[in-house]
Amino acid sequence: MTAACRPRLPWGLGLAGLIPFLALAGASWLAPLAWQFIAIPAFLYYSAVILSFLGGVQWGVAMSLEPDDSDGFRARMALSMAPSLIAWPALLLHPVTGAWVLVAGFLLIRLQECGKASRELLPDWYQSLRTLLTVVVMACHGLVIWRLAGG
């Protein structure tokens, strides 16, 4: 992939957005126990915020790239609300259950982004970036879930 196909700013921001995931997942294992009690909820809160943000991306795609009288517009606008409606209740659940709900939310939004309608509207660089980010986010969730399960 050439530099022209991979805009530096969104890639840099996307990768920077992984820092809290990586740091907090690591802290859930490596920090002193008292800090782990802070790191794990902070991880879940950050995850919920980012999942909600991905819904906002879909709202923006619908407003700017879908004709507002189309089925695609209506479907994408409705879908844009789903991440927030998954993320917020996940924070009210037991941390293990909430982490799994967040995992499901990230996977669902990624599956939607990989669908034909999204592939036609979103640039290739976005697809590559989102795949990488989703893989890392899933790995971090796995580490936190493992820690919560007594790992």
Summarize pLDDT for 46-93 with one digit per residue, the tens.
999 999 999 999 999 999 998 899 998 999 999 999 999 999 999 999
Give the domain extent around 78.
9-148
The answer as to whether 99 is a domain residue is: yes
Output b/e per residue, 46-58; b: 16+ Cβ within 10 A. bbbebbbebbebb
pLDDT band at 5 (very low <50, low <70, confident <90, very high): confident
For the chain, the domain total comes to 1
- pTM score, whole prediction: 0.93
The answer as to whether 18 is a domain residue is: yes
The answer as to whether 1 is a domain residue is: no
Give 96's contacts (C-beta < 8 A, 6+ positions apart).
145, 148, 149
